[in-house]
Amino acid sequence: MLKNSITFLGTGGGRVVVFRQMRHSGGMWLNIEGINLLIDPGPGSLVRIFERGFDTKDIDLLVVSHRHLDHSSDLNAVVESASESTKKPLDLLVCPQDVVEGEEPILLKYLRKGIKKIAVVKEGTLLSYKDLTVKATVKHIHKGAETYGLEFHGGGKKVVYVPCGRFYEGMLEGYSENADLMIFNTTFPKAIENGENTYHLTVPDVEKMVLRYKPKRAVITHFSVPMLRADPEKISARLSRKTGIPVASAYDGMKITF
Ligand SMILES: [Zn+2]
Ligand SMILES: [Zn+2]
């Protein structure tokens, strides 16, 4: 049986942590059913890929959850690298519309021929690639960007990615239950009054979702400064205790097999 794994190239989130590199950024490298996915190639992704012993040439699928730079800034660099300057196009880019269309797309026009197919997702989109099914599930509320929950199903395994967004009741319907791995962009320890974090998940939001969806294992990542101060390790330990489900806090370079 194939061993599936995910490596966190970076675990920083938000303006300060990412753009001052208090933690690395650059997304996640997921290997499922022998298919390599690079998810959210933020700042430094190209560097971290090689640093962790991966190679852009092995990328089958590129996934961008949304257009904010902490998730997408290295998209062009990765496409350039993976496709050998568009000579050997990579198979598939999966992303919401505003990553590739509209007034200010992230993907540069001249690099489009470096990708065979661009699949624009909306709520409910289902697409397959070899033995893998990619699902865009719940629409998230996130300022200035379109984004959806993303799921990757293959070989009887389910990986669920809950990207950035403000919690609302609708997020308690639509994701898969009992995922092998459920990854939460947990940017803040708690809601604060001035509204600065109202477009991101907080720890109590994640607790509700873990209890609702009962994944076999959960991971919190995408940490802001307040989250780092609160200590993600302590938070994940507390979440595990309160939910009865193993919750890990990601660190740069962390690899999980499943
Ligand atoms: Zn964002
Ligand atoms: Zn973000």
Alpha-carbon distances of 43 from 136, 168, 252, rounded to whole Å: 24, 29, 13
Ligand 1 geometric centre to CA of 194 (Å): 18
pLDDT digits (tens, 9 = 90+) for 55-113: 999 999 999 999 999 999 999 999 999 999 999 999 999 999 999 999 999 999 999 99
Its sign, for the CA torsion 147, 151, 152, 153, is negative
CB 176 within 8 A of CB 213: yes
Ligand 2 geometric centre to CA of 199 (Å): 9
- At 229, the pLDDT band (50, 70, 90 cuts) reads very high
Surrounding residues of ion ligand 1, Cβ less than 5 A? 68, 164
Ligand 2 geometric centre to CA of 83 (Å): 26
Spell out the domain ranges in the chain: 5-251
CB 255 within 8 A of CB 6: yes
Residue 129's pLDDT is what? 98
Ligand 1 geometric centre to CA of 185 (Å): 10
- Mean pLDDT to the nearest integer, 157-186: 97
* 189 has a pLDDT exceeding 80: yes
* 39 has a pLDDT exceeding 90: yes
Ligand 1 geometric centre to CA of 18 (Å): 12
pLDDT digits (tens, 9 = 90+) for 145-165: 999 999 999 999 999 999 999
Task: Give percent of the chain above pLDDT 70.
Answer: 97
Closest-lying ligand to the alpha carbon of 187? 2
The model carries a pTM of 0.97
Closest-lying ligand to the alpha carbon of 199? 1
Residue 192's pLDDT is what? 76
User: CATH classification of 5-251 is 3.30.950.10, yes or no?
Assistant: no
Closest-lying ligand to the alpha carbon of 222? 2
pLDDT digits (tens, 9 = 90+) for 1-36: 568 999 999 999 988 999 999 999 999 999 999 999
Residue 198's pLDDT is what? 76
